[in-house]
């Protein structure tokens, strides 16, 4: 029997660089069949192994400017000297068809989305310590020492925003952190406010 399409849930996940957020988001997308990753637009160059249209949509500054001017971004922000933005149309297309979406966006982006998107679930991921954060940035081997230093400084600043999120996961162990992320997602999907349209349909409740 076909039933009315329930809207997808937007999961907004932020973390300082080096907290393991990308890994956790990828694990979640691989685990939940109805979950997709929101593909952001960015002006930063691709890192080794990144694929255009999968990890990001890589565009130049002029292209980004055009999208800003035509109001195509739900939010956009400057991060580490580059720009990143979430397409309004891509996101609403997914949510309207009932797909749950992970938005891997920074704290500035999350702040904007809070006022513009209803029903979002806000999750903050933390590294277990400052040292671990630095170590993870180094071992990724994708950024220069200056870039790493800059990212660490910004990371410590961002951690102050953790209290603005509904959930906080300290990633001291990847398996345990993923269990927490999964649990949050499963529980949020079962929240009565989200389930009531389906209940009404099944049982004719008001
Ligand atoms: P990276 O360059 O390491 O892939 O990402 C740097 C930061 O940009 C991360 O904190 C990531 O969450 C954030 N980011 C990625 N896409 C977006 C976006 O569309 N909007 C905002 N505000 N931040 C984003």
Say yes or no: CB of residue 100 within 6 Å of ligand 1. Answer: no
Q: Which of 18, 109, 122 maximizes ligand 1 atoms within 8 Å of its Cβ, making it the mutation to test the pocket?
A: 109
Mean pLDDT of 11-40: 94
pTM (2 decimals)? 0.91
- Whether residue 109 contacts residue 11, with contact meaning beta carbons closer than 8 Å, is answered with no
Q: What's the pLDDT band for 9 if we cut at 50, 70, 90?
A: very high
Say yes or no: CB of residue 92 within 6 Å of ligand 1. Answer: no
pLDDT at 206: 59
CA atoms within a 13 Å half-sphere pointing along the CA-CB vector of 59: 19
**Domains (range + CATH), the chain:** 10-38+99-203 (3.40.50.300)
Say yes or no: CB of residue 20 within 6 Å of ligand 1. Answer: no
- Going through the chain in order, the beta strands assigned E by DSSP cover 10-14, 35-37, 41-42, 57-58, 73-79, 82-87, 100-104, 121-126, 167-170
Say yes or no: CB of residue 64 within 6 Å of ligand 1. Answer: no
**Lowest mean pLDDT: which of 58-72, 124-138, 155-169?**
124-138
Say yes or no: CB of residue 77 within 6 Å of ligand 1. Answer: yes
């Amino acid at each position: 029997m076909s039933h009315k399409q329930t809207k997808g849930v937007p999961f907004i996940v932020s973390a300082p660089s080096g907290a393991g957020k990308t890994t956790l988001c990828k694990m979640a997308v691989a685990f939940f069949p109805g979950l997709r990753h929101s593909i952001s637009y960015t002006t930063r160059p691709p890192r080794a192994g990144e694929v255009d249209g999968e990890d990001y949509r890589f565009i130049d500054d002029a292209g980004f400017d055009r999208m800003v001017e035509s109001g195509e971004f739900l939010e956009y922000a400057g991060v580490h000297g580059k720009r990143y933005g979430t397409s309004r149309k891509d996101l609403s297309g997914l949510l309207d068809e009932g797909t749950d979406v992970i938005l891997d966006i920074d704290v500035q982006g999350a702040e904007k989305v809070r006022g513009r998107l209803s029903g979002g679930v806000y999750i903050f991921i933390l590294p277990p310590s400052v040292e671990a954060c630095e170590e993870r940035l180094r071992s990724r081997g994708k950024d220069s020492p200056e870039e790493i230093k800059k990212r660490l400084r910004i990371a410590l600043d961002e951690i102050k925003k953790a209290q603005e999120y509904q959930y906080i996961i300290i990633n001291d162990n990847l398996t345990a952190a993923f269990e927490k992320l999964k649990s949050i997602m499963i529980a949020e999907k079962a929240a009565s406010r989200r389930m009531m349209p389906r209940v009404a349909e099944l049982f004719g409740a008001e």
